[in-house]
Amino acid sequence: MKEILRQLEERRAVARLGGGEKRIDAQHGRGKLTARERISLLLDDGSFEEFDMFVEHDCADFGMADQKVPGDGVVTGWGTVNGRPVYVFAKDFTVMGGSLSRSHAKKITKVQDMALKVGAPIIGLFDAGGARIQEGVDALGGYGEVFQRNVLASGVIPQISVIMGPCAGGDVYSPAMTDFIFMVRDTSYMFVTGPDVVKTVTNETVTSEELGGASIHSTKSSVADGAFENDVVAMTQVRRLIDFLPQSNRAEVPERPFFDDQDRVEMSLDTIIPQNPNMPYDMKELVLKTVDEGDFF
Ligand code: HXC
């Protein structure tokens, strides 16, 4: 029995390394955390229960039979945020750029199904290049299953996407269908395909930032609901957002302790809005002074 447990721990250690130490170092070098580091910041300490850690792809084309990594580029499971359950999947860029195979898609649809059944939010952490090119139509079919569940979950459970690296193809189409989309400044991009492919196909030279950086999506296209400084701030802010949300359309909004004075009178509210409707005023100041403890997301 001890021997079996030792082997299991060995296999777990290999799976936790994803694409290997060199690629993890490269990930850190780009100012990004790994999928597992992100999950540990997002969830309450020790609450993460991982599923399907040893799942591998079943593709044999283009030499893929020799390129199997346990977990297949996505870490999935559930845990809690301030005690409330959430389901989570985090793309692992160190494994074939986090690209989606048929098996990888099955891991994601499994947590989507569970979140829907239980009635709990689902959070996707994206850092991935879309459909795994080597799998072709099998990967595209996998996305079909993910997209279908995005539609079924819409209006039923909160769906939150955080774009935390260069994301292309299905890894932006699916987030685009979710309720909240956040990005990380300077390290995350949302585009149909990357600048190199754009150059090859259209001969147009464009930077990642111009094509789909946080500055574009949070100020021009309005695809993203917010952009944060780095991975740590992004995970902290998602935890804060979860605190405001109901678990599902069957649940009440969460009750939180509040420390504001119920009799607080904010005299400046009488004067913030100018008499002249053509004069501008700071709407955020108005909101912050109105809500409890100035706590506004
Ligand atoms: C297989 C992929 C991959 C993909 C990246 N990789 N994307 N492998 N399928 N889609 C691999 C790379 O080969 C590389 O492997 C490693 O991930 C890191 O990628 P790099 O290119 O070195 O990183 P970077 O320069 O940061 O560029 C990231 C990127 C770029 C912008 C995401 O890789 C890119 O443009 N990829 C292709 C994007 C794309 O067109 N995807 C198809 C979308 S179609 P090594 O071994 O060298 O480390 C789609 C359709 C959905 O998703 C619709 C469904 C109906």
What is the model's pLDDT at position 193? 87
160 vs 176: CA distance, rounded Å: 10
Give the residue-averaged pLDDT of 92-120.
98
- 87 CB less than 6 Å from ligand 1? no
Q: What one-character-per-residue DSSP string does 116-127 give? A: HHHT--EEEEE-
* Percent helix, percent strand, percent coil in the chain, to nearest 5: 45, 15, 40
Strands (DSSP E) along 20-177, which ranges? 49-51, 74-81, 84-91, 122-126, 159-163, 166-168
CA of 93 to the centre of ligand 1 (A): 9
Reported as half-sphere exposure (CB side, CA atoms, 13 A), residue 51 has a value of 18
Domains recognised in the chain with CATH numbers? 2-244 (3.90.226.10), 259-297 (no CATH)
133 vs 262: CA distance, rounded Å: 58
Selection from 148, 205, 197 nearest residue 169 by Cα: 197
- 143 CB less than 6 Å from ligand 1? yes
CA-based Rg of the chain, rounded to a whole angstrom? 21
Nearest CA to ligand 1 atom 22: 97
Give the residue-averaged pLDDT of 109-132.
97
- 208 CB less than 6 Å from ligand 1? no
Helix (H, G, I), strand (E, B) or coil at 131: strand
Question: Residues of the chain with pLDDT > 90: what percent?
Answer: 97
Give the residue-averaged pLDDT of 41-54.
98
CA of 130 to the centre of ligand 1 (A): 7
- For residue 108, the tally of other CB atoms under 10 A from its CB is 23
- 168 CB less than 6 Å from ligand 1? yes
Give the residue-averaged pLDDT of 266-273.
93
**CB-CB contact of 9 with 48 (8 Å):** no
Per-residue pLDDT tens digits for 157-216: 999 999 999 999 999 999 999 999 999 999 999 998 889 999 999 999 999 999 999 999
Selection from 113, 192, 102 nearest residue 140 by Cα: 102
Which residues have C-beta within 8 Å of that of residue 29, sequence separation ≥ 6?
Answer: none
Per-residue pLDDT tens digits for 141-164: 999 999 999 999 999 999 999 999
54 vs 52: CA distance, rounded Å: 6
**CB-CB contact of 37 with 18 (8 Å):** no
- 98 CB less than 6 Å from ligand 1? no
Which residues have C-beta within 8 Å of that of residue 137, sequence separation ≥ 6?
Answer: none
Q: Where do we find the tokens 């591998």?
A: 56
Regarding pTM above 0.75, the answer is yes
* Mean pLDDT over each residue of the chain, to the nearest integer: 96
